[in-house]
Homo-oligomer: A and B are copies of this chain.
Amino acid sequence: MSWFRHLSSKTHRFTSLSRFSTSTVPVRHAGLGPTKAHEKPRVVVLGSGWAGCRLMKGLDPKIYDIVCVSPRNHMVFTPLLASTCVGTLEFRTVAEPIARIQPTISREPGSYFFLANCTAIDAPNHVVQCESVTEGTRTLDPWKFTISYDKLVIALGAQPTTFGIHGVYEHAIFLREVYHAQEIRRKLLLNLMMSDVPGIGEEEKKRLLHCVVVGGGPTGVEFSGELSDFIVRDVRERYSHVKDYIHVTLIEANEILSSFDVRLRQYATKQLTKSGVQLVRGIVKDVKEKKIILNDGTEVPYGLLVWSTGVGPSAFVQSLDFPKSHGGRIGTDEWLRVPTVEDIFSIGDCSGFLESTGKQPLPALAQVAERQGKYLAILLNKIGKANGGRANSAKDLDFGDQFVYKHLGSMASIGSYKALVDLRQSKETKGLSLAGFVSWFIWRSAYLTRVISWRNRFYVAINWATTFVFGRDISRI
């Protein structure tokens, strides 16, 4: 046969390979050493959220080599994540590969994306330690390596807060990453199907199909709205045997959407209630396998529990020996620098202005993170052009304009083709606020134009159109 190459040549190659693998101890703690004079200075970015990705997008690859370290190779377009749980949007539509945001990272010889976590920062020596992410794959060993940086940007984001409540990590699902949305979807569809099995009692059906959302911020409200849309339109048609058993309860300790204008809050409350979401004011004390227990002793059985009560800094961020801002975030000066060390910046949810700046703490919003990423990209490009790109070479540079945050307003969809748009600058000021179908249209348009790539912009539009025409997809894959 023409295609049959004799194995002797292969045998040689592979036999020598297997000899190599068993006899040679692999080199650990290798890495990228300090940049040399003929190389570009290196910016190392920790994290691939809104802040880190907007920064990488803006950095000039002619000035810098860019190295990103993150446990995921894509950015999640978080405002649309809630829509993916019920199939309104596809998971992939809200995920943007970093290589598409900053193509340099996969093409230039000195730029890299590493699927890894940062485990330590050695600021005096300008080195970070990392460990590769292998997700328990048996054929891959976790690999430790170091990266020298000229500039380091910490954009590690935040993680969900549980207020130390027992059982949250074990039994609740967060809504921050694509795999969370996938887990919610699989569980919701499994519960829908299980409740239809012969012999399942009435009360167990009610439990299985009781979807409880804890936390009445925009994420919790948007997810509740999407769920009720899914129930009204798709469950009634696709799971008509069990349609009367499914219910959504939103539990919030204070008020829902507390950052929004009071009239918008009232409107949201009315609309959610109208579309079948039960709003309960309560404080969760304990989370068990099949029920949560509120402070007043009430037991709430659930089949699906989604937890979105806000975020706080991760254990790694807390462990860093830097000055801290409010809530344990990394403290920065007006130019987003960590002031006690050289060449380290911090942006996004993991950072905050130091009290000494006299500036207001900024909320943990995509909007803030994105604006900081954009600002820092411009600043770093400017520093690089002024020959301050190398390690320890920007001490005497004039950094120019400070970072100033101007709030553009808040939006939240509440289901049934309705949304809230609050264009006030802050909670205290006056300004335009809108609710209803027009807001929903603005909400969709705004997010459609803010999705980063044309590919995903196209898919968001297509997904919305097919959901409208064909309904949501219910295949559990």
Listed in ascending order, the chain A residues whose CB lies under 8 Å from chain B are 1-5, 7, 10-11, 14-15, 17-18, 20-21, 24, 26-32, 72-74, 90-92, 95-97, 99, 106-107, 109, 112-116, 132, 134-135, 137-140, 143, 145, 147, 171, 178-179, 182, 187, 189-190, 193-194, 196-201, 203-204, 206-208, 237-241, 255-256, 266, 269-270, 272-273, 278-282, 289-291, 294, 296-301, 303, 453-455, 458-459, 462, 466, 469-470, 473-477
Q: Which of B17, B470, B475 contacts A301 (CB 8 A)?
A: B17
> Contact between B2 and A270 (Cβ–Cβ < 8 Å)?
yes
B200 and A143 form a contact (CB under 8 A): yes
Bound complex: CA A465 to CA B132 (Å): 35
Name 12 interchain pairs, CB-CB below 8 A, sorted by A. Answer: A3-B256, A3-B279, A4-B281, A7-B282, A11-B297, A17-B299, A73-B476, A74-B476, A90-B92, A92-B473, A95-B475, A178-B477
Q: How far is the CA of A109 from the CA of B239 in the complex (A)?
A: 11
Q: Which residues of B contact A289 (CB under 8 A)?
A: 138-139
* A283–chain B nearest beta-carbon distance, Å: 11
- A28-B199, A91-B477, A112-B241 given. 19 additional CB < 8 A pairs? A1-B269, A3-B270, A5-B279, A11-B297, A14-B298, A14-B299, A21-B290, A27-B199, A31-B199, A72-B476, A106-B238, A106-B240, A109-B241, A113-B193, A134-B190, A137-B190, A139-B171, A143-B199, A145-B197
Contact A7 B280 (CB under 8 A): yes
Could you say which residues of chain B place their CB within 8 Å of the CB of A294? 7
Contact partners of A14 in chain B: CB under 8 A: 291, 298-301
Set of chain B residues within 8 Å of A2, measured between Cβ atoms: 266, 269-270, 273
Contacts of A204 in B (CB 8 A): 21, 26
Contact check, B475 vs A466: say whether CB atoms are below 8 A apart: no
**Docked-complex contact A280 and B10, CB < 8 angstroms:** yes
Pick from B107, B171, B197, B296: contact of A114, CB under 8 Å: B197
Q: Are B278 and A5 in contact (CB under 8 A)?
A: yes
Q: A14 CB to closest chain B CB, in angstroms? A: 5
Known: A190-B140, A197-B145, A199-B26. A107 touches B18 (CB 8 A): no
Assuming the contacts A14-B301, A109-B241, A466-B458, asked whether A475 and B282 have C-beta atoms less than 8 A apart, the reply is no
Select A189's contact among B24, B73, B207, beta carbons within 8 Å: B73
Do A21 and B279 form a contact, CB below 8 Å, given A26-B204, A73-B475, A199-B143?
no
Identity of the chain B residue whose Cβ is nearest the Cβ of A177 in the assembled complex: B477
Q: How far is the CA of A141 from the CA of B30 in the complex (A)?
A: 48
Residues of B within 8 A of A458 (CB): 466
Inter-subunit contact B139/A290 (CB<8 Å): yes
Provide the bound-state CA to CA distance between A301 and B114, in Å: 24
Contact B291 A199 (CB under 8 A): no
Contact partner of A143 (CB less than 8 A), chosen from B197, B240, B269, B476, is B197
Residue of B nearest to A146 (CB): B198
Q: Chain B residues near A466 (CB, 8 Å)?
A: 455, 458-459
For the complex, give the distance between the alpha carbons of A453 and B288 in Å: 42
Is B280 a contact partner of A132 (Cβ separation < 8 A)? no
Cβ contact within 8 Å between B21 and A207: yes
Query: Contacts A5-B278, A187-B137 known; A193 to B115 CB distance under 8 Å?
Result: yes
Bound Cα distance A36, B450 (Å): 59
Q: In the complex, which of the residues A21, A24, A289 has the most CB atoms of chain B within 10 Å of its own CB atom? A: A21
Q: Give which listed residue, B137, B198, B454, contacts A30 with CB less than 8 A.
A: B198
Complex Cα–Cα for A112 and B239 (A)? 9
B115 and A194: CB pair below 8 A? Answer: yes
Closest chain-B Cβ to A303's Cβ sits at a distance in Å of 8
Cβ B272 vs Cβ A3 within 8 A: yes
